[in-house]
Chain A
């Protein structure tokens, strides 16, 4: 009747994570965050609230930033996932945002940092693709890259909490990369 009928409690899926293919038998309850951390040993993505409220688990799925704690792995069969470990490509040079966070000292404890950086990567792509935000002037023309001032950066990163309160330097770091 249907293309995929998996009425048992688990299914086999294939995922590309940071460019590397993985075929895994996953419990349907497995969320992407736990798969990354516990099955693949990629512990850069952090578990904060586990309810989509803090952003510490943010990764890129098919190029879009998402809360990996709320995505069931089985739904991602065939997807391409990029985590903080994969942002630098071959790993030789850090991603410009990673370097900017270091240079600006944009963290204290560092727990939210992988999520902040992955979120910023996704956010910059959204703005470049012309996606408006809550603070974008509605009169801004559609389809053109949205210029990002500090107000825009703060609004667009509001899904990432930092309990240490490093926000001003996080915004500094993102601004450095835009310039």
Chain B
């Protein structure tokens, strides 16, 4: 690891100033991904701006019923928060499906969104990787890519985003709140992560120096039945091969609100817009669910070794939608 300076600002404003003042600075919160990448040599910041103690560690209900989650709320605290468990169970379940107890105690909300892909070639300095060194090539294209993308990949990069939390947030229509020298803005989580295209080195739409200050959960989705399902190579403590976040409200046997997003399939949480459009207003029955899921998944472009992800995602989504839908009333 290369030597670096260390700054611990007291406020968000000081943090942004410190970042701007020091070329090669990186923000540090829980460090569960960044410190690991520094050990691997993937990251070598000149200065760490420690935002871990900023006053952004609370979950607050707003007058309109929405929830604001501070950027440094730990993953374990967010998953256990009564309002999150009661109103947004998909978010609590997604957080608890990720990492380990130790890591969730350190990892933060903002850091979870900004974590990097676990593509083994990204983490290996001896291999070409367009995300790590733009223009160097992609070793995963012809290499080991069973865990990689089936949607939205490019010939530059086929990596997936590893977060479970972000998949739930996408299905919930959550927004990311950002602070930068030009002020504060917020963008939907579903649009926060990018597809790789020509520039896989850019994971997200965040601008240089911008700081995630929080995540906003809309009141509109509070209390709507929701769930997260994840398939992985072992029963716990592994990244998703495929996962699904579902928010589903049914009235009189008809879907009147739906959020559906897949994890483990793309460079970002894959919001299933085609399936959602088909589901809205449709009968809440397994055949209708299946038709809608297929409408989304027929657009998948699996790689040589990961075609299994498509039926896996299909089955996860069908099962989760079916479980969330109220049982049909007896005739």
Tell me the A residues contacting B by CB distance below 8 Å: 1-9, 11, 27-29, 31, 50-52, 55, 58, 64-67, 70-72, 74-75, 119, 122-123, 126, 129-134, 136, 138, 142-143, 154-160
Contact = CB atoms under 8 A, between A and B. Distances in A.
A2 B8 contact: yes
Nearest to A138: B89
A134 B5 contact: no
Contacts of A8: 5
A4 B9 CA distance: 7
Nearest to A155: B236
Interface of B: 1, 3-10, 14, 17-18, 21-22, 28, 31-32, 35-36, 38-40, 47-48, 50, 52, 76, 79-80, 82, 85-86, 89, 92-93, 96-97, 99-103, 105-106, 227, 235-237
A28 B101 contact: no
A50 B1 CA distance: 13
From A1, A27, A29, A72, name the one whose CB has the most chain B CB atoms within 10 angstroms: A72
B133 to A, nearest CB: 21
Nearest to A77: B8
A14 to B, nearest CB: 14
Task: State the 5 A-B residue pairs at the shortest beta-carbon distance, nearest first.
Answer: A159-B100, A158-B236, A7-B5, A142-B82, A4-B8
Contact of A65 (B36, B40, B97, B102): B102
Given A7-B5, A9-B3, A52 B101 contact: no
A133 B80 CA distance: 9
Contacts, number: 140
Given A27-B3, A65-B105, 12 more contacts: A3-B10, A29-B3, A52-B36, A64-B105, A66-B105, A72-B48, A75-B28, A119-B101, A119-B102, A131-B79, A143-B82, A157-B101
A8 B106 CA distance: 26
Contact of B10 (A2, A9, A11, A133): A2
A156 B21 CA distance: 42
Nearest to B123: A51
B6 A11 contact: yes
Nearest to A157: B101
B28 A156 contact: no
A29 B35 CA distance: 9
B77 to A, nearest CB: 8
B106 A66 contact: yes
A71 B267 CA distance: 28
Nearest to B21: A1
B1 to A, nearest CB: 5
A115 B58 CA distance: 29
Contacts of A160: 100
B9 A3 contact: yes
Nearest to B92: A132
Contact of B50 (A52, A75, A138): A75
Contact of B99 (A131, A132, A156, A159): A159
Contacts of A159: 99-103, 237
B5 A52 contact: no
Contacts of B97: 134
